[in-house]
Structure 1
Amino acid sequence: MRLVNRTYEDLQPGDSAELKRLITPDDLYVFAASSGNHNPMNLPNGDLDGDGKPEQVAAGMFIASLVSAVLGTHLPGPGTLLRQQSLRFHATAHAGDELLCRVTVLDKLPQGEVRLQTDVTRPEDAALILTGEAIVQAPRIRFDRDNLHIPGLIVQRHRHFEALLDRARPLPALPTAVVCPDDANSLGGALLAAAQSIITPILVGHAAAIHAAAAELGADLSGLEIIDTPADDVAAAAMACHLVHEGRALAVMKGHLHTDDLLRPMVDRDRGLRVGRKFTHVFLMDVPGLPEPVMVTDAAINIAPDLMTKRDIIQNAIDLALSLGIDPRVGVLSAVETVNPAIQSSIDAALLSKMAERGQIRGGQVEGPLAMDNAVDMAAARTKGLTGGVAGRANILVVPGIDAGNMLAKQLAYISHAEGAGLVLGAKVPVILNSRADSPVARLASCAVAALHYFAARA
């Protein structure tokens, strides 16, 4: 970025400069966070009049900041000090509007000051948004410099999950057996999804403990079915399987119990939920700043998967991606992007890529081995000379084992500020697998993903 200023001596009446700016929803969030103005009318999701449509009005001082941008970077430019500014607002602007800000020199004042006219318009309909005048102290020293670096900002907004929730709400509420929801987090997540009509929870577990958790939340459980299974957690999980076989539950959701206890009845040959493939786990991660969700698999069930288990891991993830409307691009990860006989994961990755070519894995592109950098970064992929539809663009990351998957998913959550929806695939119905540390957003998104996957598979 090159910046050049106009000194007081250079400026003449009639000189002008302009700047175009598209207002985005993230602009509204950034302005609210930096200014402290949290007026819901000026936020992307605020709906003050109750018509179901957010107003998304750009705050007046955000629009005025466009004037400051022109003064400080274009005319007069670097070194300018604002002394006075008058503002009159004629119309509102909203997220999605492109605005044109223009400043024009009116006259030069004594002691190095300059008076300028300032206007903001919306070219699309020629609407006048703002008029005013500014008096500035113009720079006296010339400035001409490039390579000015401004750190970028990433808004911690989970827009991909918001879109999934918008798609899930119109679907029929998914009857879901919630196993052992006897603490505030697990019960609260199920009730939140129920309040948004994404699931209809059937609470399975120790009834007294469930009511105690509800009391802690101040929640009313009237109207919800509670199946009392006081024996132990495994018995509650077995009851959930029974509800699935009866057709009363179309999904299972983990509550406050260990994952092994939840899954043990599900893998029973006679009364479990097996349908052919291995049970595998997928984290659907909404990472701020990325253009689409990223899947990490398997990070929760298969500890050291062999080749055929990895095939099931990939096929289950592809099926989930397709049900969510995501184009599956599978990057099979290793430490390197070339086959090394000393690194088993690189051999497996190459074989899985060939299996996809031969139709043993269907529905998506599969490439490997790929190192993490050239799986997700196009520049890194080009540097290594990697071509094809996956390198640099992978949205399904298949890890060598559970330790790598767990580390990757938690790095995305705790360092990259991602939210993760967790689902077990390969069972008769979706199994919603949440961690005790998951936020309400993650629990809600997991339910939305389960509903979308269930109904897409039966469409």
Structure 2
Amino acid sequence: MHVLGEANNGTHAAAIENVPFDEIRVGQTASMARQLTLMDVELFAMVSGNINPAHLDAKFAADSRFHKVIGHGMWSGSLISGVLGTHLPGAGTLYVGQDLQFRRPVALGDVVTATVTVTEKRADRNLVVFDCVCVNQDGEVVTTGTAQVIAPTRKVRHAAHELPQVQMIRHDKHDALLHRCDALPPVPTAVAHPCDESSLKGAVEAAEAGLIDPILVGPEAKIRALASAHGLDITPYHIVDVEHSHAAAQAAVALARAGRAEAVMKGSLHTDELMSEVVRKDTGLRTGRRLSHVFVMNVPTYPRALLITDAAINIAPTLEDKVHIVQNAIDLAKVLGVETPRVAILSAVETLNPKIATTLEAAALCKMADRGQITGGILDGPLAFDNAISVEAARTKGIVSEVAGRPDILLVPDLEAGNMLAKQLSFLANADAAGIVLGARVPIILTSRADNVRTRLASCAVASLVAASRRAPALALAAE
């Protein structure tokens, strides 16, 4: 779990003023209210190291056996500390001790008000004793107890300290993608030359997750030795024994062409070696579409999946190529559940400039969409990255658009720009990526040795959903 920008809930006064020991009176009170959010719970767990599933796992907490004892009492107790350190006595307070009882669980969404009341003063140590109580929005007592502090002796007035903005970096968006595949059968997948630990383990993990039914294509003796060396059980999977990586690429493509595989997955061979077999005119998997790659990026600071294309196949695509690239991405977005995908066509600027060819291509693509040559999505461009992705940036520049600030797809000018953008999001913004090649007879999963398990499984999940979408029309036609 990581921490970045964006504020947690709660507000803070513009200035603070403490209450020194001499000004404190028995019976004096102070309060603070705060709503419990999931971010609060996760931040508390991260700071304290308390990862008790009764607090973090909704399914665990919902279990009736734990319902009466779980809750976030320690969080409500921390609110008491907040009142003492911020309001009464305030700045300069030293916490000596506390004795709290947690009477009732605090649930997500509850608004808890913590109130402290002075019950005793001891001048010898400037010690102040407080009665403490926390109640929820229904007036029910959740925490009671006492606290002892050493109060400050001099008056302090100064601007409130501005807390850093925080945001929880979540890696659960790909989980939703995987859950969509729960009801789907494993996709028969030809895995071309899985002859290193990374590629073979990736295929086995995807199979164990129920996403693919792998056909391992490569030197059988080498594959079995590799599996044995790394403790991988490959006994359930069929192996097609071929001599070397080039033959593995040919055989994997042939399996897909013959209908025995509904997807092809890259193993430890080079991408060019596999793709050269895929694009062969007579024996490959070409269709009327140009092949293109799509990254499905789950960026923690963006509210939905972001598709980036093309960052891996087409180096310097022409206008005609981009028609196919954007149509492939729109079709994928629909498979992923986006009813009308919004496509931002990126360039360096958001205005037409005859000296920047990509701005003219963007305008042409938008007009082609208007004329029905690209279907199923809403296109706008040229857009610079800032006003493509930010509503505020678009508004500042006076851009009125259905796409600007909320795209589902980013069409990049060329492979270099797309590859750098995808990797920047992964390594600087903690984004999760999944990748797939479209435009062939079957989806092609391009994995990298640098991919983590989550990325590999998500890529297989995308392929599974694409394969299922292609299978559905065939089944409907057969039923008729």
* TM-score, scaled to structure 2: 0.86
Contact 1:165 1:445 in 2 (8 A): yes
Q: Residues 170-206 of structure 1: CA distance to partner in whole angstroms, max 9, x if unpaired?
A: 3212221111111111111121111121211111112
User: 1:374 aligned to 387, 394, 406, which one?
Assistant: 387
Tell me which residue corresponds to 1:65.
78
Contact 2:366 2:379 in 1 (8 A): yes
> Any gaps of 5 or more consecutive residues in structure 1?
none
Q: Residues 35-69 of structure 1: CA distance to partner in whole angstroms, max 9, x if unpaired?
A: 23344444348859999x99996555334223323
Measure the CA separation in 1 of the matches of 2:70 and 2:351: 52
SS at match of 1:132: strand
Tell me which residue corresponds to 1:21.
35
Structure 1 residue 186 corresponds to structure 2 residue 199: yes
SS at match of 1:109: strand
Structure 1 residue 303 corresponds to structure 2 residue 315: yes
Measure the CA separation in 2 of the matches of 1:40 and 1:215: 36
Q: Which runs of 4+ in 1 moved over 6 A?
A: 48-51, 53-56
SS at match of 1:264: helix
Q: Residues 290-344 of structure 1: CA distance to partner in whole angstroms, max 9, x if unpaired?
A: 2112121111000000111111111111111111113522111111111111111
Structure 1 residue 262 corresponds to structure 2 residue 311: no
Q: Which amino acid aligns with 1:294?
A: L
Measure the CA separation in 2 of the matches of 1:255 and 1:373: 36
Measure the CA separation in 2 of the matches of 1:338 and 1:57: 57
Q: Residues 243-289 of structure 1: CA distance to partner in whole angstroms, max 9, x if unpaired?
A: 22332211111111111111111112222212211100011112223
User: 1:143 aligned to 130, 136, 157, which one?
Assistant: 157
User: 2:220 aligned to 197, 207, 211, which one?
Assistant: 207
Contact 1:304 1:402 in 2 (8 A): yes
SS at match of 1:390: coil
Go from structure 1 to structure 2 and tell me whether the alpha carbon gap of 1:74 and 1:311 turns closer, same or farther (over 3 Å shift): farther
Q: Which amino acid aligns with 2:206?
A: A
Deviation at 1:31, TM superposition (A): 2.7
For residues 6-17 of structure 1, what are the structure 2 equivalents within 5 Å?
A: 6-8=18-20, 9=23, 13=27, 15-17=29-31
For residues 339-418 of structure 1, what are the structure 2 equivalents within 5 Å?
A: 339-418=352-431
Contact 1:331 1:375 in 2 (8 A): yes
Go from structure 1 to structure 2 and tell me whether the alpha carbon gap of 1:58 and 1:386 turns closer, same or farther (over 3 Å shift): farther
Tell me which residue corresponds to 1:236.
248
Deviation at 1:404, TM superposition (A): 0.8
Q: Residues 428-451 of structure 1: CA distance to partner in whole angstroms, max 9, x if unpaired?
A: 121111112111110011111111
SS at match of 1:168: coil
Go from structure 1 to structure 2 and tell me whether the alpha carbon gap of 1:83 and 1:188 turns closer, same or farther (over 3 Å shift): same
Go from structure 1 to structure 2 and tell me whether the alpha carbon gap of 1:48 and 1:149 turns closer, same or farther (over 3 Å shift): closer
Go from structure 1 to structure 2 and tell me whether the alpha carbon gap of 1:196 and 1:384 turns closer, same or farther (over 3 Å shift): same
Tell me which residue corresponds to 1:316.
328
Measure the CA separation in 1 of the matches of 2:69 and 2:331: 36
Tell me which residue corresponds to 2:337.
325
Q: Which amino acid aligns with 2:311?
A: A
Go from structure 1 to structure 2 and tell me whether the alpha carbon gap of 1:449 and 1:138 turns closer, same or farther (over 3 Å shift): farther
Identity %: 45
Measure the CA separation in 2 of the matches of 1:54 and 1:431: 46
Measure the CA separation in 2 of the matches of 1:380 and 1:333: 14
RMSD over aligned CA atoms reads: 2.8
Contact 2:121 2:128 in 1 (8 A): yes
Go from structure 1 to structure 2 and tell me whether the alpha carbon gap of 1:71 and 1:309 turns closer, same or farther (over 3 Å shift): farther
Deviation at 1:144, TM superposition (A): 5.1
Measure the CA separation in 2 of the matches of 1:293 and 1:401: 21
The structure having more radius of gyration, on CA atoms, is: 2
Go from structure 1 to structure 2 and tell me whether the alpha carbon gap of 1:391 and 1:222 turns closer, same or farther (over 3 Å shift): same
Measure the CA separation in 2 of the matches of 1:50 and 1:443: 32
Go from structure 1 to structure 2 and tell me whether the alpha carbon gap of 1:120 and 1:255 turns closer, same or farther (over 3 Å shift): farther
Measure the CA separation in 1 of the matches of 2:247 and 2:361: 38
Go from structure 1 to structure 2 and tell me whether the alpha carbon gap of 1:67 and 1:201 turns closer, same or farther (over 3 Å shift): farther
Alignment: residue pair count: 453
SS at match of 1:238: helix
Q: Which amino acid aligns with 1:29?
A: E
Tell me which residue corresponds to 1:272.
284
Tell me which residue corresponds to 2:118.
106
Measure the CA separation in 2 of the matches of 1:261 and 1:54: 57
Contact 1:334 1:399 in 2 (8 A): yes
> Any gaps of 5 or more consecutive residues in structure 2?
1-11, 473-480
SS at match of 2:169: coil
Q: Which amino acid aligns with 2:346?
A: L
Deviation at 1:98, TM superposition (A): 2.1
Measure the CA separation in 1 of the matches of 2:223 and 2:67: 37
Contact 1:3 1:73 in 2 (8 A): no
Q: Which amino acid aligns with 1:358?
A: R
Measure the CA separation in 2 of the matches of 1:408 and 1:45: 35
Contact 2:348 2:383 in 1 (8 A): yes
Go from structure 1 to structure 2 and tell me whether the alpha carbon gap of 1:56 and 1:225 turns closer, same or farther (over 3 Å shift): farther
